[in-house]
Amino acid sequence: MLLNNSVVYVSDEIYKKQVGGNHYRSMVIQPSEFINRNNIPFAEGNAIKYLCRHKQKNQKEDLLKAKHYIDMAIDRDYPAPVKEEIKEKKNSWGFVK
């Protein structure tokens, strides 16, 4: 499909539609388009979405949601090392060494 002598992919039309609200309409590129075109994983994509819309929608709640998804990505990609359980050894008098 050609529009003003430039190629517009049919799938571009889907990003002009927003179901429920208008908090993404003022953005140059909708977060969903950016996320999908860059193959961004789920947790990172949701963090981007909430960061982009927080001022137009749920303010602090959306920032907390973004932080939660960032924590998920950190936990998924950089898990904390498993700590070895320290076994207490008692000497003959019952004291822990």
pTM: 0.68
What confidence tens digit (pLDDT) does each residue in 2-51 have?
Answer: 445 555 454 777 777 777 777 777 888 899 999 999 999 999 999 999 99
Q: Residues 29, 32, 33, 36: is their CA dihedral positive or negative?
A: positive
The interaxial angle of helices 59-77 and 42-53, nearest 10 deg, is: 160
With beta carbons less than 8 A apart as the criterion, state whether 48 and 35 touch: yes
Q: Give residue limits of the domains in the chain.
A: 9-77
Which is it for strands 2-3 and 6-7: parallel, antiparallel or unpaired? antiparallel
pLDDT given at position 6 = 57
